[in-house]
Amino acid sequence: MAERKKVTLPKLFKKAADGQPITWLTCYDYPTAYLQEQAGIDMILVGDSLGMTMLGYETTLPVTMEDMIRHSQAVRRGAPNVFLVGDMPYMSYQPSVETAIRCAGRFMAEAACDAIKLEGGAEMADRVRGIVNSGIPTIGHLGLTPQSLSALGGFRVQGKGAHQAKKIIDDAKALEHAGAFMILLEMVPDRLCKIIKERAENCLIMSLGSGPDAHGQLLIYHDMFGLYPRFKPRMAKVFGNAGEVILNGLQGYVNEVSDKSFPQPENWFGMPDEEYDELLTLLD
C-alpha cells in the first residue's frame, strides 16, 4: 500500500463532521502497528491494558511510565502516520497537575505521540486543563475505568441507573470544558452514549462497548483476534482467530521437530565440497 498521509486532529474532526466513524484500536508492538497502519486504522491507543495483554498482570495497575514509553516508541516506528495516543498509567497523573503534565510530556517528547488519554471525570478536570494548556491534546475516559476497578466492583457496565448516568453526563461536560478534544466511553449503555454525543459541542465521543451512536469505535486488539487467554469481553467481536492459527502452527513445529521432518534442506545452509574438504585438512 502507498504510504498514507498523516492522520491529524483536524482530519479526525472532519471525518466526524462528514458522518464517517473513526476507527481506533489498541496496539503495543512494532509488527502489529505496521499491519494496523497498512489496514488504514485512524487511531492507535497504546493502552495500559498492555499490562494484562502483553505482560500478563491481572490488572493494569503495575504498569509503569517506562513500560508505556517503550511500547509507544515501538508502535510509532511501525505506524508513522497513525494518530497515536499514549495512555497515562496508574499514578502518572493522579498525584498532582504537575506530575500529570510531566508524564504527558514524556509521551510526546520520547514516543512522538499525538495525544494522551487519562481516566476519570470532574475530579481529573484540573489535570486535563493543565495538560491541554501545555499544548498536549487530551482524551478523557469515562464509564468502566480499569484503574479504578476495585472501587467500581469489577468489570461491569457503568451508568445503568439514572443517577449514575447523570454523573457520567456531568463528568463528560467537565472534561470537555477542561479542554479534552475526545472522550472515550467504555461499557456504558448505548442510550447514555447517544445523549453524551448529542450534548458534546467541540468534543468527539468514542465508544468501547457503548453502542453505535458515537463518533467512532475502539476495540482491544487482543480481544478481536482471540489473543487474550483469560477472558473475552462480550463487547469484543472476534474478527479472526489468530490465537488458534498460532497455536496450530506451534503444535506443528513441536510435531515436526519431534518426528525430524523439520528442518529440510531448504531450511539450512550448505558449504562447497572443496571448502569442506580443506576444512577437514585443517582439523587435528
CA 284 vs CA 271, 272, 279, 281: distances in Å:
20, 21, 10, 8
47 binds ligand KIV (CB under 6 A): yes
Q: Count the site residues for ligand KIV by CB under 6 A.
A: 12
Helix (H, G, I), strand (E, B) or coil at 168: helix
Q: Report how far apart, in Å, the C-alpha atoms of 119 and of each of 138, 252, 277 are.
A: 11, 43, 68
* DSSP strand pairing (138-143 vs 182-186): parallel
**Is 26 or 92 the residue whose CB approaches ligand KIV more closely?**
26
Using the contact rule CB under 6 A, the part of the chain among 30-38, 47-55, 169-177, 253-261 near ligand KIV is 47-55
Q: Does 223 bind ligand KIV (CB under 6 A)?
A: no
Give the nearer residue to ligand KIV in terms of CB position, either 68 or 195: 68
- Point out which span in 5-13, 46-54, 132-140, 156-164 binds ligand KIV (CB under 6 A): 46-54
* SS3 call for 131: helix
Is 186 noted as a catalytic residue in this protein? yes
Q: How far is the CB of 47 from ligand KIV (least distance, A)?
A: 2
Interaction mask 166-205, ligand KIV, x per CB under 6 A: ------------------x-x-------------------
Stretch that binds ligand KIV, among 30-38, 42-50, 154-162, 163-171 (CB under 6 A): 42-50
Return the residue of 15, 22, 26, 33 that touches ligand KIV, per CB under 6 A: 26
Q: Quick one: cell of 200?
A: 458534546
Q: Which residue reads 482524551 in cell numbers?
A: 139
Q: Say whether residue 45 binds ligand KIV (CB under 6 A).
A: yes
C-beta contacts of 18-24 below 8 A and 24+ residues apart: 21/214, 21/215, 21/216, 21/217, 22/204, 22/206, 22/215, 22/216, 22/217, 23/216, 23/217, 24/206, 24/216, 24/217, 24/218, 24/219
Residue 218 CA to residue 10 CA, distance in Å, equals 19
87 binds ligand KIV (CB under 6 A): yes
Q: Which of residues 94-153 bind ligand KIV (CB under 6 A)?
A: 146
Residue from 32, 49, 92, 207 binding ligand KIV (CB under 6 A):
49
Catalytic: which of 3, 58, 186, 256? 186
Phi-psi region of 40 (alpha: psi -120 to 50; beta: other; left: phi over 0): left
Q: Which residues bind ligand KIV (CB under 6 A)?
A: 26, 45, 47-49, 87, 146, 184, 186, 208, 218, 220
Catalytic residue positions, numbered: 186
